[in-house]
Amino acid sequence: MVTGSTGMAPAAEWRDVAVRYPYAEADAVGPVTLDVRRGEVLLLLGSSGAGKSTLLATLTGLVPQTMPADVSGEVRVFGEAAASRRPAQWSTTVARLFQNAEETLCGMTIGDEVAFALENRALPVAEIEARMAAAMQAVGLEPQERGRRTMALSGGEKQIVALAALLAQDAALVVVDEPTAHLAPAAAARLSELVLARKEGRSVIVVDHRLDGLVGSVDRVAVIDGDGRLMAEGDPRTVFVTHREALAAQGIWRPVATELSAELAAAGMMLEPTPLDIGEAIRGLEGLAPDRRAAARPQVARFVSERLAQPAQDHGAVAARLEGAACAPFLGPVVLENIDLVLHTGEAVAILGANGAGKSTLGASLAGLLRLKAGRRDGGPGGMAFQNPEGQFVAGSVGEEIAAALGIGARGYDLPPPPPPCKAWWRGRTTTHRDDPGHGAEADAARIAAVLRAWRLDGLAARHPFELSQGQKRRLALACLVEPARFPLLVLDEPTAGLDAAGVEGLSRVAQSLRGRGTALAIITHELDFALATCPRAVIVGEGRILADGPCPALLADRDLMRRAGLETPALLDLAAWVEAIAAVAAC
Find out whether 247 and 238 touch, Cβ atoms under 8 Å: no
Position 196 confidence tier, pLDDT thresholds 50, 70, 90: confident
Q: At what angle do helices 256-266 and 290-305 cross, to 10 degrees?
A: 120
Which pLDDT value is given to residue 300? 95
Which pLDDT value is given to residue 4? 46
For every residue of 289-334, DSSP letters joined together read -HHHHHHHHHHHHHHHHTTSPPPPSS--SEEEEEEEEEE--TTS--
* Local structure of 430: helix, strand or coil: coil
| Segment among 458-467, 480-489, 490-499, 579-588 with least mean pLDDT | 579-588
Find out whether 537 and 551 touch, Cβ atoms under 8 Å: yes
Query: What number of other Cβ atoms are within 10 A of residue 121's Cβ?
Result: 12
| Segment among 148-157, 253-262, 288-297, 514-523 with least mean pLDDT | 148-157
Percent above pLDDT 90 for the chain: 64
Which pLDDT value is given to residue 105? 84
Buried b (16+ CB within 10 A) or exposed e, 424-462: ebbeebeebbeeeeeeebeebbebbbebbeebbbeebbb
Mean local confidence (pLDDT), 96-100: 84
The pLDDT mean for the chain works out to 88
Q: Closest Cα to residue 329, out of 266, 254, 386, 403?
A: 386
d(CA 546, CA 340): 8
What would the pLDDT profile of 359-410 be if each residue is shown by its tens digit?
A: 999 999 999 999 999 999 999 999 999 988 988 999 999 999 999 999 885 3
Question: For residue 166, is pLDDT > 80?
Answer: yes
Position 200 confidence tier, pLDDT thresholds 50, 70, 90: confident
Domains contained in the chain, CATH given? 12-249 (3.40.50.300), 256-306+573-587 (no CATH), 310-381+488-556 (3.40.50.300), 397-486 (no CATH)
Find out whether 525 and 301 touch, Cβ atoms under 8 Å: no
Q: Closest Cα to residue 220, out of 29, 44, 1?
A: 44
Mean local confidence (pLDDT), 86-111: 86
Identify the sign of the CA torsion 124, 127, 133, 138: negative
What end-to-end distance do the CA atoms of the chain give, in Å? 65
Q: Closest Cα to residue 579, out of 303, 309, 308, 311?
A: 303
Which pLDDT value is given to residue 323? 97
Q: In which region does residue 424 sit, left (phi positive, over 0), alpha (psi from -120 to 50) or beta (all else)?
A: beta
Question: For residue 434, is pLDDT > 50?
Answer: no
Which pLDDT value is given to residue 123? 92
DSSP one-letter code for 389 = G
Which pLDDT value is given to residue 402? 94
Position 588 confidence tier, pLDDT thresholds 50, 70, 90: low
Question: For residue 66, is pLDDT > 50?
Answer: yes
Mean local confidence (pLDDT), 233-244: 92
Find out whether 153 and 162 touch, Cβ atoms under 8 Å: no
Question: For residue 527, is pLDDT > 80?
Answer: yes
Specify the pairing of strand 29-36 against strand 12-20.
antiparallel
DSSP one-letter code for 166 = H
Mean local confidence (pLDDT), 464-468: 91
Position with higher pLDDT, 561 vs 313:
561
d(CA 234, CA 74): 22
Which pLDDT value is given to residue 464? 92
Which pLDDT value is given to residue 437? 41
Position 7 confidence tier, pLDDT thresholds 50, 70, 90: low
Question: For residue 536, is pLDDT > 60?
Answer: yes
Question: For residue 90, is pLDDT > 60?
Answer: yes
